[in-house]
Amino acid sequence: MSSPQEQHIATYREEAGELLAELETSLLDLEENPQDSDLINRVFRAMHTIKGSGAMFGFDDIASFTHEVETVFDQVRNGKMQVTRALLDLTLQARDQITVMLAASAGGPPADTGRGQHIIEGLRELLPAVVHAKTTPVSELVKASETDSHNRTYRVRFRPIPEIMTTGTNPLNLLKELQELGTCETIAHFDAIPLLDQLIAEHCFIYWDIVLTTSSGIEAIKDVFIFVEDDCDLKIDLIDDGSVLDSDSSYKKLGDILVERGDLSPVEMHKIVSMQKRFGEILVEQGIVPASKVQSALVEQQQIRQVRQERTTAAPAAEAALSIRVPAERLDHLVNLVGELVTVQAHLTQIAGNRNDNEIISVAEEVERLISELRDTTLNMRMLPIGSTFSKFKRLVRDLSAELGKEIDLETTGAETELDKTVIEKLNDPLVHLIRNSIDHGIEIPDVRRAAGKPVKGIVRLAAEHSGDSVLVTIRDDGAGLDKERIRAKGIERGLITATSELSDKDIYNLIFAPGFSTAQKVTSVSGRGVGMDVVKKAIEALRGTIDINSTPGKGSLITLRIPLTLAIIETLLVRIDQSYFVMPLTMVEECIELTRADVQAAHGRHLAHVRGELTPYISLRSEFEITQNQPDIEQIVILSVAGKRIGFVVDDVVGEHQTVIKSLGKLYRDVRGISGATILGDGTVALILDPGLLMHSVLQVEQEQFG
């Protein structure tokens, strides 16, 4: 078990990582909306937190580096600097530098300090001259900024000179501005207003007590009165600094407040205290303090009590928080345990069925229901929105399009779509490949686009949406589309197809998944080496997903990935061949039909079955797995939809639906095509998980090799 300090450091690393991701997204959004003050504040806040927490947990290098960037954004925030491309470039570089520094602190390669210095110098050059000269030690800034986030309560007495309104100042506007800073109680005092005959109509005789609870700080309050400093008596007192978490939410007594304000003398106070009556009542009764002033003090007392009360109750709630951070490996362990539980439950159900004991059957059913719920809940815990991956690509598109001299926007939808954490992690690299391809091969350079009558700016659209137990991720670009003829020619050249092969568009497109396939006329740093699409396909298939390509010449390409929601537990159809059991993904299953020996003979040995008037090819799993014993007279064809095609798999018997806890195969079986894993059945038997897509592919390959 690590020490609390180590845990805090680990938490800081995690949170800083999230903040850096947020920072990147905000910076990229800011590039599109440079005036957006919310985004500027978000950037500032992210850096401020990275810096503040960094200093707190001993990441001094990160704190001081981030401080430099923060200083620049403070100027932007205050309207003294504009958001420019140069500023964003440097800030993005700074963000990358912090990422490296963070990784270095966790044992990664050390950060290049020269690069860091270069970034800082670049940022300093952007600063206006005055700020450039004025530097504040980071420790002081951290200290000041930490307290800034607290709500503090101030007492403001604002007494304008009578002529204030003749100078064009409207006190109501000042009060309104003050009220916008936080929770504000304003008490007007009227006791100085003369009777009508002495009243100079244009003079202001009202003055105010304001109790303001705000996180903006005293400077913000002073700023409100900055233009009337010489035209008023202004007294600002800090009456609650917001830092003490006192279980006692009480505040000063009324008499103390009035004495502190100068509305009552200590002598008078003691005299009143000695009377057995309510303090305020006596003051008003005896005309010592006007009612409005007593009331104003009571308002202050009440507001501070309320603020303290809220703080006292909010603190434990904040600690308990609405969410907790759990290390991923603990969740993985939990999922594994649930997986084991599902297996044991299947065993229990089987035993209960065999014993034919109603009591045990009833308990087994209850256990099954509970475990099913537990399984769903556990798997849901690992679900993350895919948006975290999407946001990285925005940067990729920005940098890559600049490098290639293209203008490209990335549009994303469905960022909130959730997928298993592991799946998201494994999806990252394939998506990078696909987006790079779209940018490099898909989207044309501005001149070409202009000549084709297209908008100069190309668009890559990345979208995710749920579809059954899968998520569809699409990458669509409005580029030139795939060049069918060139792919075909390359396919013939590489011996993948013959010159006479009649291929559908889709078959031609699928050629790009061949290892080493590339039609690029030049090799760039981005792509063109023919390393990519086969790797992408393998990675997607490793996720038990599929990849599909569509393209329209001149209009663009669409790549669709279908990815299962989770890699841990799936719904399958359990089938049997002699003594061997297999499972196949239930979502792919369309129907089951019988296959008799007569049917086989009628087809003259060809593996084709008549299904609703259509010829459907099938694969005999018996033959595939070389199981020769006990072949029944009537077999079953399980018809699956694989990459949009119907194909049958012949088995002896369909056992039924099965919740499959996926177990990976050992290294020895890593290259077995068509089997993606294994699962343990209730009685301890191992069933292999079939990968129908790969199975179909390998059968086709063998046939091609045999028959040419």
194 or 632: CB nearest another protein: 194
Q: Structure tokens of 150?
A: 């607290």
> CB–CB of 44/145 below 8 Å?
no
Q: CB count, 10 Å around CB of 439?
A: 25
* Closest to 587 measured CA to CA, from 565, 559, 617: 565
Among 40, 119, 187, 410, binds another protein (CB under 8 A): 187
Stretch that binds another protein, among 174-182, 224-232, 554-562, 614-622 (CB under 8 A): 174-182
Residue 542 main-chain phi, psi, to 5 deg: -65, -25
Q: Which of 136, 166, 243, 377 binds another protein (CB under 8 A)?
A: 166
In this chain, which of 52, 54, 116, 171 binds another protein, going by CB under 8 A? 171
Taking the complex as a whole, how short is the minimal distance between the CB of residue 229 and another protein, in angstroms? 19
Residue 312 has φ and ψ, to the nearest 5°, of -65, -40
Q: Rule CB under 8 A: say whether 190 interacts with another protein.
A: yes
Stretch that binds another protein, among 194-202, 335-343, 543-551, 683-691 (CB under 8 A): 194-202
Q: What is the rounded CA–CA span in Å between residue 39 and residue 606? A: 65
In this complex, which beta carbon is closest to another protein, that of residue 133 or of residue 172? 172
Measured from the CB atom, the residue of 182 and 545 that comes closer to another protein is: 182
Are residues 298 and 211 in contact, defined by beta-carbon separation less than 8 angstroms?
no
Binding mask 202-221 for another protein (x = CB under 8 A): xxxxx-x-x-----------
N-term to C-term CA, the chain:
62
Separation of alpha carbons 238 and 222, rounded Å: 13
Q: How far is the CB of 181 from another protein (least distance, A)?
A: 14
Applying CB under 8 A, does 199 fall inside the site for another protein? Answer: yes
Task: Pick out residues in 247-286 that bind another protein (CB under 8 A).
Answer: 284
Q: Which of 128, 194, 327, 554 binds another protein (CB under 8 A)?
A: 194
Q: In 322-397, at which residue ranges do the beta strands (DSSP E only) sit?
A: 383-385
Burial class (CB within 10 angstroms; exposed 0-12, middle 13-18, buried 19+) of 394: buried
164-172, 225-233, 382-390, 677-685 -> range binding another protein (CB under 8 A): 164-172
Burial 300-317, CB ≥16 within 10 A → b, else e = bbebbebbbeebeeeeee
Spatial separation of the C-alpha atoms in residues 136 and 132, rounded to whole Å: 11
Nearest Cα to Cα of residue 482 among 548, 417, 574, 420: 548
Identity of the residue, 1 or 201, whose beta carbon is nearer to another protein in the bound complex: 201
Q: Is 550 in the site for another protein (CB under 8 A)?
A: no
- 299 in contact with another protein (CB under 8 A): yes
Interface residue with another protein among 175, 435, 443, 471 (CB under 8 A) is: 175
- Dihedral-angle region of residue 472 (phi above 0 means left; psi in -120 to 50 means alpha; beta otherwise): beta
Q: What is the DSSP string of 591-627?
A: EEEEEEHHHHHHTTT-SEEEETTEEEEEEEHHHHTT-
Q: Which is nearer to another protein, 249 or 295 (CB)?
A: 295
Q: CA 177: distance to chain centroid?
A: 36
Give the count of beta carbons closer than 10 Å to the beta carbon of residue 135: 12
Cα–Cα distance for residue pair 446/455, rounded to 1 Å: 8
Indicate which single residue of 135, 170, 524, 664 sits in contact with another protein (rule: CB under 8 A).
170
The residue (of 291 and 415) whose beta carbon lies closer to another protein is 291
Closest separation in Å from C-beta 554 to another protein: 59
If one asks whether residue 291 binds another protein (CB under 8 A), the answer comes out as yes
List the one residue from 292, 336, 412, 550 that touches another protein (CB under 8 A): 292
∠ Cα 4 6 10 (to 5°): 115
| Site track for another protein across 10-39, x = CB under 8 A | ------------------------------
Task: Kindly indicate which of the ranges 25-33, 181-189, 321-329, 672-680 contains the residues binding another protein, using the contact rule CB under 8 A.
Answer: 181-189
CB of 290 to another protein, least distance (A): 6
Q: Is the distance from CB of 44 to CB of 36 less than 8 angstroms?
A: no
Q: Would you say 426 and 395 are in contact if contact means Cβ atoms under 8 Å apart?
A: no
Nearest distance in Å: CB 158, another protein? 10
Residue 295 near another protein by CB under 8 A: yes
Least distance from C-beta 309 to another protein, angstroms?
20
Closest distance to another protein from the beta carbon of 156 (Å): 11
Our CB check for another protein shows the closer of 171 and 481 to be 171
Q: Which stretch binds another protein (CB under 8 A): 66-74, 192-200, 448-456, 568-576?
A: 192-200
Tell me which of 85, 132, 176, 466 binds another protein, using CB under 8 A: 176
Determine the 3-state secondary structure of 541 from DSSP: helix
Residue 98 CB contacts under 8 Å (≥ 6 apart), including other chains: 16, 20, 50, 62, 65, 66
In a 3-state reduction of DSSP, which class is residue 504? Answer: coil
Least distance (Å) from another protein to the CB of residue 168? Answer: 10
Q: Which stretch binds another protein (CB under 8 A): 270-278, 292-300, 460-468, 530-538?
A: 292-300
Q: How far apart are CA 174 and CA 181, in angstroms?
A: 11
**Comparing C-alpha atoms, which of 541, 561, 542, 540 is closest to residue 550?**
561
Q: Residues 17, 34, 217, 290: which binds another protein (CB under 8 A)?
A: 290
Query: Residues 618 to 657: which contact another protein by CB under 8 A?
Result: none
Query: Which two three-digit tokens encode residue 186?
Result: 């304003």
Stretch that binds another protein, among 195-203, 443-451, 561-569, 648-656 (CB under 8 A): 195-203
Distance in angstroms (rounded) separating the CA atoms of residues 48 and 51: 5
Q: Do the Cβ atoms of 623 and 604 come closer than 8 Å?
A: no
Which of these ranges, 50-58, 171-179, 522-530, 582-590, lies near another protein under the rule CB under 8 A?
171-179
Shortest Cβ 188–another protein spacing (Å): 4
Interacting residues with another protein (CB under 8 A)? 165-166, 170-172, 175-176, 179, 186-188, 190-191, 193-197, 199, 201-206, 208, 210, 284, 290-292, 295, 299
